[in-house]
């Protein structure tokens, strides 16, 4: 009986908080991974600057907040502002090398260079010091004896809503069908009258908008500084690779599973070693399934 109590205590006070924390970080990683995987699924482009676009979203929010704009307005305004940025980047940079043979490599290099420039630009414009964004929802909730900040609960709810919304747009609307058609067979879609080039730009913009949204949403928790883009990028790439590049379902499932592994493993091993652990999981998955757990966007 005493053992039973001990077990419940362990579950409630050791494992449960860790699981919830893992979920909360998982939402952050999934938001990053979603944009990455959608852009790859359609354009075959690995966006190495994705982290920097996430940072750009956060910095735009900092500027808007400083100008007196309400946080909730920012949450909508920043992703909208990011759309034209993404559109222009796709038109001005990606499209230029899109028809070359090694476009995988070339677009990866382009976005890598863009990331280098953006990160330094943040330093020039906003300075090297960390900027805080105040939590728009204060306080914390007590759930099953666990203490949990309200804002994090909000972020998890919003994260789930965004995933659901993206899912519906891609798989249940005619717009989504056009995008998937373009991803599946470019020539075919084009000959059926789909404005493929514009679909590409719009999709890229959409992915960038998601990164910007993640930037605003997470700024109050993780604060804002020039190198913040590097924070989630390795985790996001790991999640996208394990889930299968281009797969939305894969990104979500891999995001949840990997972050749970990380959270629970950190109870037993030094947190420093959880990165190699996740990487090891990724390698094992790739050995078993070289293209990740789930198929690509076009085949979804």
Partner 1 sequence: MADAGSVIEAVRRSEDSRRRSLSAFALAFVAFGVAFAAIAAARGEVFFLRLATEALIFGGLALSADILLGYAGMLSLGQALFFGLGAYVSALVLKNVLPSFWLAMLVTLLVTTLIGLIAAVIATRARGVYFALITFGLAQVVAKVVFNTPSLGASDGIIGVPVIAIDLGVGQVTAASPAAFFLFCLAFIMALYCLCAYLARTPGGRVLAAIRSNEDRVPFLGYPVTRARMLAFVLAADVAALSGALYPVLRGFVSPELLYFEVSGNAIITVIIGGMGTLIGPLYGSALIVVLKSVIGSYTAHHLIVIGSLFVLAVIFFPQGLIGAVRPSLERRFALRAAPLRR
Partner 2 sequence: MRTKSVITRLVAALAIGTSAPLFAQGNPIKIGVDTPLSGTYAPIGQQVKWGLELAAKEINAAGGVLGRPLQLTYEDGEANPAVATQKAEKLFQVDKVDFLTGTVNSGATLAVGQVAERNHRLMATTVSFADSITGDKCSPNVYRVNARAGQQSIALAEWLAKAKPKARVFFLGPDYEMGRSTVAAFKAAAEAKGAVTTGEVFAPLGNKDYSPFFGQIRAAHPDVLYTSVAGNDTVRLFSQLDEYGLLKGGMQIVGASGTVTSQNMGAIRKEAEGFVTGVGYSPEIDTPENRKFVKAFEAANKAPPDLYGADSYGVLYFYKAAVEKAKTTDTDKLRTAMADLEWMTPQGMKKMRAGDHQAIQDMYVVKLTGGEFKIISKVPGVAAIGPDECKRF
Q: Is 221 in the site for partner 2 (CB under 8 A)?
A: yes
CA 78 to chain centre: 15
Q: Which residues in the 88-147 window bind partner 1 by CB under 8 A?
A: 93, 96-97, 100, 102, 104-106, 108-110, 112-117, 119-121, 123-124
Q: Which residues in the 152-211 window bind partner 2 by CB under 8 A?
A: 152
Whether 217 and 209 have beta carbons less than 8 Å apart is answered as no
CA 190 to chain centre: 29
**Binds partner 2 by CB under 8 A, chosen from 96, 123, 172, 289:** 123
What's the chain's length in residues? 300
Q: Whole-angstrom Cα distance, residue 26 to residue 56?
A: 21
Q: Spell out, one character per residue from 19 to 58, where the chain touches partner 2: x when CB under 8 A holds, - when not.
A: --x--xx--x------------------------------
Nearest to 60 by CA among 208, 202, 203: 208
Instruction: Copy the structure tokens of residue 131.
Output: 């900027």
Q: Which residues in the 237-266 window bind partner 1 by CB under 8 A?
A: 237-238, 241, 245
Tell me the HSE value of 118 on the side-chain side, using a 13 A CA sphere: 25
DSSP strands (E only) in 207-274: none
Q: Minimum Å distance from CB 194 to partner 1?
A: 25
For partner 1, the closer of residues 24 and 238 by Cβ is 238
Tell me the HSE value of 96 on the side-chain side, using a 13 A CA sphere: 9
Q: Is 63 in the site for partner 2 (CB under 8 A)?
A: no
Q: Is 260 in the site for partner 2 (CB under 8 A)?
A: no
The contact set with partner 2 (CB under 8 A) reads 13-14, 17-18, 21, 24-25, 28, 123, 127-132, 135, 140, 147, 149, 151-152, 220-223, 225-228, 231-232, 263, 266, 270-272, 275
């Amino acid at each position: 009986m005493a053992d039973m109590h001990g077990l419940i205590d362990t579950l409630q006070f050791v494992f449960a908080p860790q699981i919830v924390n893992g979920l909360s970080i998982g939402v952050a990683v999934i938001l990053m991974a979603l944009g990455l995987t959608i852009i790859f699924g359609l354009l075959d482009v690995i966006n190495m600057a994705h982290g920097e676009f996430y940072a750009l979203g956060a910095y735009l929010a900092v500027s808007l907040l400083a100008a007196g704009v309400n946080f909730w307005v920012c949450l909508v305004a920043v992703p909208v502002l990011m759309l034209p940025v993404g559109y222009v980047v796709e038109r001005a940079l990606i499209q230029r090398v899109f028809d070359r043979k090694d476009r995988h490599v070339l677009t990866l290099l382009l976005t890598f260079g863009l990331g280098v420039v953006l990160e330094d630009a943040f330093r020039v414009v906003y300075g090297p010091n960390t900027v805080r964004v105040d939590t728009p929802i204060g306080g914390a909730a007590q759930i099953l004896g666990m203490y949990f900040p309200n804002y994090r609960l909000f972020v998890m709810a919003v994260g789930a809503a965004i995933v659901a919304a993206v899912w519906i747009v891609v798989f249940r609307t005619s717009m989504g069908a056009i995008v998937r058609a373009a991803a599946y067979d470019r020539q075919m879609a084009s000959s059926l009258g789909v404005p493929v080039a514009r679909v590409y730009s719009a999709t890229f913009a959409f992915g960038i908008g998601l990164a910007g949204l993640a930037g605003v949403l997470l700024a109050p928790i993780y604060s804002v500084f020039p190198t913040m883009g590097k924070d989630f990028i390795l985790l996001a790439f790991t999640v996208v690779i394990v889930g299968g590049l281009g797969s939305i379902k894969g990104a979500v499932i891999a995001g949840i599973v990997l972050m749970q592994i990380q959270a629970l493993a950190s109870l037993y091993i030094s947190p420093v070693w959880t990165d190699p652990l996740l990487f090891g999981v990724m390698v094992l998955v790739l050995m078993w399934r070289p293209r990740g757990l789930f198929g690509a966007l076009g085949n979804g």
